[in-house]
Chains A and B, each alone.
Chain A
C-alpha cells in the first residue's frame, strides 16, 4: 500500500510486454491520445493565465490569446498597485507558524492514538474524525466572539493559535503513518530503556519523516490557500491581509485589466508550484494515506 504507485504498475505492464499484439499497439495509441488530450485540458487554463499575464494593457482588452509583445514588467507593476510583499509576509507568517504549531501539538497526539493502548482511544479517534469533517462555518460565531473579547481580531493570532492545540486532519494523517511502523522497533527501544517521549523522538520521528513532511506540506498549503479564516479575522484590516485575501480583491479594488490580474495570480501560484515540484512524492504519499480504506 505504501509503495502503491511504484509497485502495481510495472507488474501489469510486464505481463503485457510478453505478448505485443498489433491490437495492443492500436490500444496504446488510443489510450495515449486520450491521455494527451486530458493532460492538455488540465494544463491549458494555466497556459492562458501565463500568456495573458505578459500582455500589454491594450491587448488585454482584446480577445487575443497570444501576446503580441511581451511585458514582463507587468509582474513588477503588481507590486506598485498593492503592497504584495507585505501580504506575502503575512501569508508566510500564518503558514510557517501554523505548520510549526501543528507539528508540535499533533505529533504527540497522533503517537498516543497510534501506539499507546488506553481506554477510550477509539472514541478519541472518532472525535478527531468528527472534528476533521466539521465545516469551519459551523463554529465560526462563538470562536469569533471569543477572539473579539480578547481584542485579537484584526491580527493573525486567531488563525495561528488553534494549530498549537492539535489539528484534527494532521492528527488523522500522522496516525495513519505511525501505525505502519513495526512494533519491533519500539520493543527494542524499550529494552534499551527509552521512555515514551524518547521513543517518540528517537524512533518514530526519524522513521516517519515522509509522513511528517506530508502533514507539514498539507498544513502549509491549507493555510497558504485559506480564504475563509483570513476573511473572517483580518478582512477589515488591510495591514494583516494574506495573499489570497488580497488577490480576491485585486481586480476590483485597483480597477486593473486582466493582464495585471493574471500576473498577480501567477505570483500567488508560483510558490505552490515550486513547493509541489520539490515535494511531489510526499504530497502523493500523503494523499493516498488519507483515503480511508475499510
Chain B
C-alpha cells in the first residue's frame, strides 16, 4: 500500500517505449479521454471557472443582480482597513485553526494510543469513539448546546453536584469557542482511526527490541511511534487546518440556537452570537455575499481564504510527491 500509493501507473511508463506500446498508448488515450470526460467537465464548471470568476468578481462591485463594475482594489482595501467585523472574523478563524489543529491532533493521538493497548472489547470501544464523527454537524451541535446550556444542561447540573457553579459555555463570548472545540474533539473519530491504523502498522518487534535496550514508554513513543506515524500526522495537520479554515455549520448553528432567537438559522441578526465570538471568516463571508449581496466583497474574502488554504494544500501535495519519489 505504501509503495503503490502513487507510483503504480508510472513504473512501466519509465521503460523505453516500443512501437507496440506506442500504438497501445494511442489506443487507450481514447479510453482515458472517455473516462475522464465527466470529471473534466466538472473540473471546469465547478473549480477552474469559479476560481477565476471569484478573482474577477473580487475587483468588482458585483451584487448578484446588476452588471458588475470594476472597482479596482477597493474591496481589498476595505477588507484590510475598514471592515469592522472582518478582523473579529479573521481572529476567530485563526483561533480555531491553531486550537482545533493542536487539540484534534493531541486528542486523537491520545485516544488512539489507549485504543492500541486495549485487549478486551476493543472493537466495541473503537466503534464508540468513531461513531460521533458520523453524526450530522447540526445534530452534534444541538447536542452540545443542550448539554452545555447554562440553565438546565446536564454538564452544569453535574458540576453543581460537585459544588461548582458552571459557566455560561456557548453563551459566554470567552467560552463559546472553547465549547465549539469540545464539540469538535468529540467528533474527531476519523482522525483517531487514521492514527490508530498507522500506530498498529508499526512492527511490534521494534518495540520489543527497544524494550530490551531499556527504553521507557515515553522514549519508545518518541523514537518509534512518532517517526513511524509522521506522514499520517502531517496529513492530519493539513486536514485539520483546512477543516478549521472552513468552519461554518457548527459556528452558525451554535450561535443561533444558544441565542434562543425565534428566527430561522442563518439569519444575519443571529450570526456570531455571543458578541461576534462565533463569527468565523466563512460565516462573515456568507453573510456579506448571500445576505447583504456584497458578492464582490465576499469574493475578495474568498480569494484570501483560497490563498491561505492552498498554501497548506501545497504542503500536502509536496509530501505526496516526496513519497512517490521515495517509492520509485
Chain A residues with a Cβ under 8 A of chain B: 1-2, 4-5, 8-9, 11-13, 15, 28, 31-32, 34-35, 38-39, 42-43, 45-46, 48-49, 52, 60-63, 65, 104-106, 108-109, 111-118, 121-122, 124-131, 133-146, 148, 162, 164-166, 171, 176, 179-180, 195-197, 200, 221, 224-225, 227-228, 231-232, 235, 243-245, 247-249, 251-253, 255, 258, 261-262, 265, 268-269, 272-273, 275-276, 280, 283-284, 287-288, 290-294
| B98 at interface by CB-CB < 8 Å | no
Give B327's nearest chain A residue, CB to CB. A294
| B129 at interface by CB-CB < 8 Å | yes
* Cβ–Cβ contact A258 & B152, under 8 A: yes
B8, B25, B160, B252: the one within 8 Å of A118 (CB): B25
Give B301's nearest chain A residue, CB to CB. A137
A106, A228, A288: the one within 8 Å of B248 (CB): A228
- Docked complex Cα distance between A82 and B59 (Å): 43
Q: Chain B residues with Cβ under 8 A from A39's Cβ? A: 124-125, 128-129
Map CB proximity to A onto B171-203 as digits: 1 under 8 Å, 0 otherwise.
Answer: 000000000000000100010011111101100
* Cβ–Cβ contact A137 & B305, under 8 A: yes
Map CB proximity to A onto B218-236 as digits: 1 under 8 Å, 0 otherwise.
Answer: 0000000000000110011
Tell me the smallest distance from the CB of B7 to a CB of chain A, in Å. Answer: 9
Please judge, given known A-B contacts A135-B305, A144-B290, whether A269 and B31 are in contact too, CB under 8 Å.
Answer: no
* Cβ–Cβ contact B36 & A46, under 8 A: no
* Cβ–Cβ contact B248 & A116, under 8 A: no
* Cβ–Cβ contact B128 & A43, under 8 A: yes
Please judge, given known A-B contacts A258-B146, A284-B130, whether A293 and B154 are in contact too, CB under 8 Å.
Answer: no
- Docked complex Cα distance between A12 and B118 (Å): 11
Tell me the smallest distance from the CB of A6 to a CB of chain B, in Å. Answer: 10
22 contacts between A and B (CB under 8 A): A4-B201, A5-B196, A5-B197, A38-B114, A46-B143, A65-B157, A105-B42, A116-B35, A130-B313, A133-B316, A139-B50, A139-B302, A141-B54, A144-B64, A144-B289, A180-B1, A180-B4, A221-B134, A245-B265, A248-B252, A251-B257, A258-B146
* Cβ–Cβ contact B131 & A15, under 8 A: no
B13, B235, B316: the one within 8 Å of A117 (CB): B13
- Docked complex Cα distance between A125 and B7 (Å): 12
Most buried by B among A8, A104, A129, A273: A8
Tell me the smallest distance from the CB of B304 to a CB of chain A, in Å. Answer: 10
Give A131's nearest chain B residue, CB to CB. B47
* Cβ–Cβ contact A32 & B120, under 8 A: yes
Q: Chain B residues with Cβ under 8 A from A148's Cβ? A: 64
Tell me the smallest distance from the CB of B143 to a CB of chain A, in Å. Answer: 5
- Docked complex Cα distance between A228 and B257 (Å): 17
Tell me the smallest distance from the CB of A10 to a CB of chain B, in Å. Answer: 10
* Cβ–Cβ contact A34 & B5, under 8 A: no
Map CB proximity to A onto B102-127 as digits: 1 under 8 Å, 0 otherwise.
Answer: 00000000010011111110101111
- Docked complex Cα distance between A29 and B215 (Å): 23
Q: Chain A residues with Cβ under 8 A from B134's Cβ? A: 221, 272-273, 275-276, 283
* Cβ–Cβ contact B5 & A32, under 8 A: no
Map CB proximity to A onto B19-60 as digits: 1 under 8 Å, 0 otherwise.
Answer: 000000100110110111011111101110111011001000
* Cβ–Cβ contact A248 & B147, under 8 A: no
Q: Chain A residues with Cβ under 8 A from B54's Cβ? A: 138-139, 141-142
A5, A116, A141, A261: the one within 8 Å of B9 (CB): A116
- Docked complex Cα distance between A49 and B135 (Å): 13
Tell me the smallest distance from the CB of B40 to a CB of chain A, in Å. Answer: 8
Tell me the smallest distance from the CB of A167 to a CB of chain B, in Å. Answer: 8
Give A231's nearest chain B residue, CB to CB. B266
- Docked complex Cα distance between A11 and B203 (Å): 10
Tell me the smallest distance from the CB of B92 to a CB of chain A, in Å. Answer: 15
| B167 at interface by CB-CB < 8 Å | no
- Docked complex Cα distance between A276 and B128 (Å): 11
Tell me the smallest distance from the CB of A200 to a CB of chain B, in Å. Answer: 8
Please judge, given known A-B contacts A12-B204, A138-B54, whether A1 and B2 are in contact too, CB under 8 Å.
Answer: yes
- Docked complex Cα distance between A60 and B306 (Å): 44
Give A139's nearest chain B residue, CB to CB. B50
* Cβ–Cβ contact B43 & A127, under 8 A: yes
Q: Chain B residues with Cβ under 8 A from A228's Cβ? A: 248-249, 286
